[in-house]
């Protein structure tokens, strides 16, 4: 089973005077995404850990993170979304596990997460699982719900300690990896819907 993993993370602040550019995400593609997050207490690190235990074939697409600022400029958004689209289209994946924040905007797009999830659904088709992880500050939209099989957020509050934040992020991401793997293994539609209800119920 081939499971594509990716992360594109930013919490936008449209009151900021500083615009976001493509370069601010320091994006890495393919195996470079593995090198950045392998063994780390990050969302992608959790994905890698649990999927390796599940013996899944991991297909890294991209990893990108930018500090809070105003909207991503139009050219940067087009470039980032096209890279994600191309990598996913070429992946021949059976499922997608993706980490996002849930409050990212770009010029001309108020719902970057929903845009990318619809893009992913158009590529993967209606039957393949898409699991999206979000921060608890996320704005969950109809597009996100329509395009994904499960949306999973943190099950406990953040603490103002960096190491603890990383640990929590790792554990909830590993849980998402479990959901994605089990959902792909489910043979009946009602089994998969059960995973979805339990995942969304963590909010």
pLDDT digits (tens, 9 = 90+) for 41-92: 788 888 888 888 888 899 999 999 999 999 999 999 999 999 999 999 999 9
What pLDDT does residue 80 have? 97
Question: What is the overall mean pLDDT for the chain?
Answer: 82
99 Cβ neighbours under 8 A, 6+ residues apart:
6, 7, 8, 9, 43, 44, 47, 132, 133, 173
Q: What CATH code is assigned to 2-200?
A: 3.40.50.10350
- pTM equals 0.80
Q: Could you tell me the sign of the dihedral formed by the alpha carbons of 137, 143, 145, 149, in that order?
A: negative
Are 134 and 141 in contact by the 8 Å Cβ rule? The answer is no
Task: Average the pLDDT over 114-119 and give the result.
Answer: 98
**What's the rounded Cα separation, in Å, for the pair 59 and 51?**
11
Q: Specify the higher pLDDT residue, 126 or 56.
A: 126
46 Cβ neighbours under 8 A, 6+ residues apart:
169, 170, 171, 172, 173, 174, 175, 176, 177
- What are the extents of the domains in the chain? 2-200
The three-class DSSP label of residue 95 is strand
Give the residue ranges of DSSP H helices in 54-137.
Answer: 74-91, 112-124
The three-class DSSP label of residue 48 is helix
Q: Could you tell me the sign of the dihedral formed by the alpha carbons of 197, 180, 114, 93, in that order?
A: negative
């Amino acid at each position: 089973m081939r499971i594509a993993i990716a992360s594109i993370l930013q919490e936008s602040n449209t009151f900021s005077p500083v615009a976001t550019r493509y370069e601010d995400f320091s994006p890495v593609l393919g195996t470079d995404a593995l090198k950045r997050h392998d063994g780390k207490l990050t969302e992608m690190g959790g994905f890698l850990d649990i999927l390796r235990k599940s013996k899944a074939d991991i297909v890294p697409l991209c990893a990108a993170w930018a500090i809070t600022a105003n909207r991503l400029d139009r050219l940067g958004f087009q470039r980032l979304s096209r890279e994600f689209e191309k990598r996913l289209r070429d992946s021949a994946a059976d499922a997608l596990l993706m980490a996002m924040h849930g409050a990212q905007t770009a010029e001309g797009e108020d719902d970057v997460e929903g845009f990318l999830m619809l893009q992913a659904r158009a590529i993967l088709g209606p039957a393949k699982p898409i699991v999206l992880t979000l921060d608890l500050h996320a704005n969950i939209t109809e597009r996100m719900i329509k395009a994904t099989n499960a949306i999973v957020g943190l099950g406990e509050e953040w603490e103002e300690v960096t190491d603890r934040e990383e640990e929590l992020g790792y554990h909830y991401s590993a849980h998402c990896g479990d959901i994605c793997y089990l959902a792909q293994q489910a043979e009946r539609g009602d089994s998969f819907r059960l995973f979805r209800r339990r995942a969304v119920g963590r909010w």
